Structure 1
């Protein structure tokens, strides 16, 4: 956790004066330019020649940075009104004049982002997405559909680590193959019948699988719940631009509080289910059991990316509900109220359907029994691997 008692010296914040009226420029969602919110003057963002790099994880010790716990609040000095704003964000707005405040990445004490996925949706589009989302919630109170606006909208860049890695995994397990046996039984009328019963023969299996992982995403901030942030995926990372401060102007940006070393540990956890599924496919057969997996990682690279999220809230029944909106795709996830009446009616309806099915089944079964023989299904084991 960040030591709030630690305090940095004031840092200059970059602002962008408007060339039309002298006010301020902000990055315009959906464009490649900054725009004045007052006179509409636009200024295109020109490339600074940077490229998005993949950084070798082995080079991490050589990168200048401060431990997360040693970085205190930043004190921005607004170049427009000279006011000071204390914050833990790397991009904010002046609390007095509203001018955008963007820290010089070199003064943040942290690893500089390699890329940024610029905002695509503006405020109007986000309000429409939230309205559509609230209107389509099943089991939500009917009055929720009448919520027409959001109480607040905050455009925020969330830091994420991405990891690439080559993996080679040795596994042990078992391959299950189905076969069928004939079984005798006495039916409800006391008559002897036969049926086909499935059995599974298990055989030891071992092997090696390989996979290349690309851009495994790990949220680098703990300000918002990890699961809620993960739910916003997928992200069109192929549309990311090399990091430039101009993309942050007029928006907020959280700094990372998850170290890259911890991020890699989490990334490996996210790779594990994919590797296990590769092992299952390699084992083949009708069923698989994976007992052990030993994975070796090589050519591990990482980078810091900033991804755009609208943090929205709406008021219903005297309570504020928070939702997150993917500012590229419009995907919405968040909190919603539940209607007890609608849920109760749905449960009653389900019970009625079950009762009708039970009555119909009972009626059919009273008409006598029939004998049906099962048939055996055979699944071949892939020939590209040998299992012992």
Structure 2
């Protein structure tokens, strides 16, 4: 366990604790409404050279224990793996000093823009629009719980140069003679493809390839929340975390870059196909070199909401900036079965009409 000091922001109106107000640039007291503007940043979000990674002060993820916050409001001790939390006894915001986390310090944060009311509206719209969901799902109007959480993400920039080999396919047509179903001889144009070797080089500069830095939540659902308006990010300041939660990363930046390269590969492959040209392409090999690689750690806003349906708790995630919703949902077997039957009925009608038309012809 690592004892850490918790940054708090006392209310200038009633003495309670201030929290960051989503959609604003200020801290707000949840009790008396007092507001305090967040000071303008004195630095810019910077890109860190990947070659400098070994010089950064950090500990291996597996060696970092839980943090122990001491609440400055009630003196209670809170043990957590989060870098921002709330006191489990009095609810006061707890934000770690980034330099004391033992990890790479976040460069930027995309502040929450949606408050609880906006998230409730987004979740209601999402549940009511699910196709093949039980009809009762539309009656779910409130989330059982909502937790505003900043999730760590790595971003990577890279100038890539790729050498490829492959084949270019050009279509040509041959006239063939055949006998139709009525015994008549007919002709038709049959497509063939002539393949020739191809090789070349392509270049692409990647900017801010996002890789989730935490494995706590499903990666596919996190990816589905994209796009993220990263240009609206600001230099990371503890004030933006006050009253919210923030996870620390458990994916090392080296592993993140491996994932980033995998995410770049399909784009590079498509570049190679376009460079080959022709009517069809086959890419045999690609040798990609990465240059001027940079990275940074960003905190992105996600509302984690749960709702109750049919005695089970379901989880959804809401992009705290755009309102995009993705998550778990129930399926109605009855609706799916009816849809399948309807599709089979349509196919049967079409087959019947075609058969009648052929018979009359």
Measured against the shorter chain, the TM-score band is: over 0.9
Shift of 1:365: 2.9
Aligned match of 1:312? 305
Give me the whole-angstrom Cα distance separating, in 2, the residues matched to 1:276 and 1:222.
28
Give me the whole-angstrom Cα distance separating, in 1, the residues matched to 2:167 and 2:359.
44
SS state of the match for residue 5, structure 2?
strand
Give me the whole-angstrom Cα distance separating, in 2, the residues matched to 1:365 and 1:257.
65
- Structure 1 window deviating more from structure 2 (181-190 vs 294-303): it is 181-190
Please say if 1:186 is aligned against 2:163.
no
Give me the whole-angstrom Cα distance separating, in 1, the residues matched to 2:69 and 2:253.
26
Aligned match of 2:275? 282
**Per-residue deviation, residues 3-42 of structure 1 (Å, max 9, x unmatched):** xxxx22x111011000000001000000000000000000
Give me the whole-angstrom Cα distance separating, in 2, the residues matched to 1:66 and 1:302.
18
Give me the whole-angstrom Cα distance separating, in 2, the residues matched to 1:361 and 1:292.
47
Shift of 1:48: 3.7
Please say if 1:102 is aligned against 2:84.
no
Give me the whole-angstrom Cα distance separating, in 2, the residues matched to 1:207 and 1:367.
58
Give me the whole-angstrom Cα distance separating, in 1, the residues matched to 2:257 and 2:331.
38
Aligned match of 1:20? 13
Aligned match of 1:61? 54
SS state of the match for residue 210, structure 1?
strand
Structure 1 stretches of 4+ moved >6 Å: none
**Per-residue deviation, residues 56-114 of structure 1 (Å, max 9, x unmatched):** 00001110000000000000011111110000000000001100000000000000000
Give me the whole-angstrom Cα distance separating, in 1, the residues matched to 2:209 and 2:136.
40
**Structure 1, unaligned stretches of length 5 or more?**
1-6, 369-388
Aligned match of 2:336? 343
Give me the whole-angstrom Cα distance separating, in 1, the residues matched to 2:256 and 2:149.
21
Give me the whole-angstrom Cα distance separating, in 2, the residues matched to 1:294 and 1:68.
32
SS state of the match for residue 255, structure 2?
helix
SS state of the match for residue 321, structure 1?
strand
Normalising by structure 1, we get a TM-score of 0.92
Shift of 1:357: 1.1
Shift of 1:148: 1.1
SS state of the match for residue 106, structure 2?
coil
Aligned match of 1:362? 355
Please say if 1:112 is aligned against 2:105.
yes
Please say if 1:321 is aligned against 2:317.
no
SS state of the match for residue 359, structure 1?
helix
**Number of residue pairs aligned between Structure 1 and Structure 2:** 361
Shift of 1:363: 2.4
Instruction: Name the Cα RMSD after superposition.
Output: 0.7
Aligned match of 2:264? 271
Shift of 1:367: 4.5
Aligned match of 2:169? 176
Please say if 1:166 is aligned against 2:159.
yes
Aligned match of 2:238? 245
Normalising by structure 2, we get a TM-score of 0.99
Give me the whole-angstrom Cα distance separating, in 2, the residues matched to 1:167 and 1:100.
43
Aligned match of 1:221? 214
Give me the whole-angstrom Cα distance separating, in 2, the residues matched to 1:223 and 1:39.
35
Matched ranges for 1:122-141 at <5 A: 122-141=115-134
Aligned match of 2:292? 299
**Per-residue deviation, residues 189-225 of structure 1 (Å, max 9, x unmatched):** 1111111111111111000000000000000000001
Shift of 1:359: 1.3
Give me the whole-angstrom Cα distance separating, in 1, the residues matched to 2:172 and 2:359.
33
Give me the whole-angstrom Cα distance separating, in 2, the residues matched to 1:35 and 1:263.
35
Give me the whole-angstrom Cα distance separating, in 1, the residues matched to 2:272 and 2:351.
42
Matched ranges for 1:33-112 at <5 A: 33-112=26-105
**Structure 2, unaligned stretches of length 5 or more?**
none
**Per-residue deviation, residues 341-366 of structure 1 (Å, max 9, x unmatched):** 11111001000010111112222333
